[in-house]
Amino acid sequence: MDRLIEGHLYQNTLTQLTEAASLMKLDPNILERLKKPKRAILVSVPTRMDDGTVKVFDGYRVQHSSTLGPCKGGIRYHEGVNLSEVSALAMLMTFKCALAGLPLGGAKGGVRVNATKLSRSEKQRLTRRYTSEISSFIGPDRDIPAPDIGTDAQTMAWIMDTYSQEQGYAVPSVVTGKPIEIGGSLGRNTSTGRGVLYSVEEACNHLKIKQDFNIKVAIQGFGEVGASAATCAQELGLCITAVSDVGSGLYNEKGLNIPAVKEYYQKNRTLKGYKEADSITNDELLTSKCDVLVPAAIDGVVHENNAKNVKAKIIAEGANGPVTLEGHHILVDKGVFVVPDILANAGGVIVSYFEWVQDLQNFFWSEKEINSRLRDIMSTTFRVSLEHSNRHKIDMRKSAMITAVSRVSSAMLLRGLYPQ
């Protein structure tokens, strides 16, 4: 398996795990197991295109650990998806769930496809075939997928329907991030962005930074995470100076009007051409003048070559792995406070957990209750990691990882190794 899963993000994740293991003197037998996924499923996804031809895409579902509960994690449709990336992201999910104290393990799935090039019906056929290929490995007690890059509530509805048709009855709890009408949770679609901002609030409190319109926030990515982080930042009274999508960015030193930017983006599917701002590139956004930087697009965007030019005092990782380890060391040496991905972007899986619980009970909560429970978990998780970081004089990435790994490790030792 080693050769199949080696790759940049996997190596990064493994380095974080082994560094945490040596600092906390982790049982080497536990470390050996955590370095690899429990199970990696590789499937072909033959899909009929609108022109009648059949294209075969590579699909994956990797389950890293089910020690704390059913595996949990998103499904990504992207051209860059491969077994190594999905395995790294599955491992991060194990630690993200453990850090937030959720009774869930870690998984991730994906299909190697450019989803923006698919028509709606092609995407539906691909999703249903992919679901049917992995259906014996998922389920409310086994593994519960959710949205990630390139997938959304509609994609989850197709997965839920395909799985339910195979079972013969409706099984809403097989996926989270569904539309509300079929058992989705209020607040799920904004939960990751909201959680990122709750972690920024905690970081500001810790650094004694007053949160008002003088605080400038730059957000990379205007998908579900970036756009909802922007809305939440505005609700909290902060000034959003920059946002970007895949191909273009906007900058306004005096602050962007987020509802107007969102409306423009919804209408045009691009930020390009929006009048009330200067245009900047994605790279320029990362090093633009700001106090808080939220990279909420893809991995590896802050690295050894641009980290030294980052001006933010706080970075909250909205995406998974947006800062490379080399970049991270440069930032920490510069005194930048980095809230790591497994903490900063945990809001998504936290509300996914709420959705799963609501589906299992057939009893639904109000949005107010969901957001307040989310805020509680985010702030407890932040404080536990911060306390650990202060006590052991380590950065937040290490302290979050150690907290997560020690929870998984205790559970593994209690459950024991079986069958032998």
Which residue, 153, 193, 231, 215, is CA-closest to 319? Answer: 193
Per CB under 6 A, does 74 bind ligand GLU? yes
Minimum distance from CB of 106 to ligand GLU (Å)?
Answer: 9
Of 246, 86, 75, nearest to 155 by C-alpha is: 75
Q: Determine the interface stretch with ligand GLU among 59-67, 226-234, 343-351, 373-381 (rule: CB under 6 A).
A: 343-351
By CB atoms closer than 10 A (0-12, 13-18, 19+), residue 193 is buried
Q: Kind and range of the H or E element at 14?
A: helix 8-24
Q: Give catalytic residue positions.
A: 108
For residues 57 and 357, what is the distance between their CA atoms, to the nearest angstrom? 33
Determine contact, residues 285/251, Cβ cutoff 8 Å. yes
75 vs 331 by CB, closer to ligand GLU? 75
Binding residue for ligand GLU (CB under 6 A) from 176, 185, 189, 199? 176
Beta carbons within 8 Å of 134's beta carbon, 6+ residues apart? 41, 43, 59, 61, 109
Spatial separation of the C-alpha atoms in residues 341 and 197, rounded to whole Å: 13
Residue 47 binding ligand GLU, by CB under 6 A:
no
Q: How far apart are CA 348 and CA 180, in angstroms?
A: 16
* H or E element in which residue 25 lies: none
Lookup result for tokens 């048709």: 165
Cα dihedral value 198, 410, 105, 230, nearest 10: 10
* 220 vs 352 by CB, closer to ligand GLU: 352
Residue 337 pairs with which residues in a beta bridge?
314
If one asks whether residue 65 binds ligand GLU (CB under 6 A), the answer comes out as: no
Choices 112-120, 128-136, 155-163, 342-350; region in contact with ligand GLU by CB under 6 A: 342-350
Which residues have C-beta within 8 Å of that of residue 413, sequence separation ≥ 6? Answer: 27, 30
Element (H, E) at 107: strand 106-112
What lies within 8 Å, CB to CB, of 15 at 6+ separation is 325
CB 223 within 8 A of CB 199: no
Please, which residue, 233 or 349, has the CB nearer to ligand GLU? 349
Q: How far apart are CB 214 and ligand GLU at their closest, in Å?
A: 31
Residue among 72, 123, 216, 398 that touches ligand GLU (CB under 6 A): 72
- Smallest gap from Cβ 63 to ligand GLU, in A, equals 12
Pick from 5, 146, 160, 256 the residue near ligand GLU by CB under 6 A: 146
Binding letters toward ligand GLU, positions 295-334, x by CB under 6 A: -------------------------x--------------
Q: Closest residue to ligand GLU, Cβ-based?
A: 74
What number of other Cβ atoms are within 10 A of residue 400's Cβ? Answer: 30
**Stretch in the footprint of ligand GLU (CB under 6 A) among 272-280, 281-289, 345-353, 357-365:** 345-353
Given the complex with ligand GLU, which of 249 and 348 has the nearer CB atom?
348
Minimum separation from the CB atom of position 113 to ligand GLU (A): 17
Judged by beta carbon, residue 148 or residue 161, the one nearer ligand GLU is 148
Q: How far is the CB of 11 from ligand GLU (least distance, A)?
A: 19
| Binding status of residue 13 toward ligand GLU by CB under 6 A | no
Reference 249, options 213, 293, 207; nearest CA is 293
Query: By CB under 6 A, which span of 9-17, 69-77, 127-135, 245-253 interacts with ligand GLU?
Result: 69-77
Q: Which residue, 26 or 88, is less far from ligand GLU as judged by CB?
A: 88
Asked if 106 contacts 65 with a C-beta cutoff of 8 angstroms, the reply is yes
The residue among 63, 221, 223, 210 whose CA lies nearest residue 142 is: 63
Give 74 or 193: the residue with its C-beta nearer to ligand GLU.
74
Write each residue from 226 to 265 as x if it is in contact with ligand GLU (CB under 6 A), else as -, in one continuous string.
Answer: ----------------------------------------
The reply to whether 349 sits near ligand GLU by the rule CB under 6 A is yes
Q: Measured between alpha carbons, how far is 249 from 244 in angstroms, rounded to an integer? A: 4
Q: Of the two residues 146 and 331, which places its CB atom closer to ligand GLU in the complex?
A: 146
Report if residue 150 touches ligand GLU, rule: CB under 6 A.
no
Phi, psi torsion values for 193, nearest 5 degrees = -65, -40
- Min separation Cβ 75 and ligand GLU, Å: 8
What residues line the site for ligand GLU (CB under 6 A)? 72-74, 146, 148, 176, 320, 345, 348-349, 352
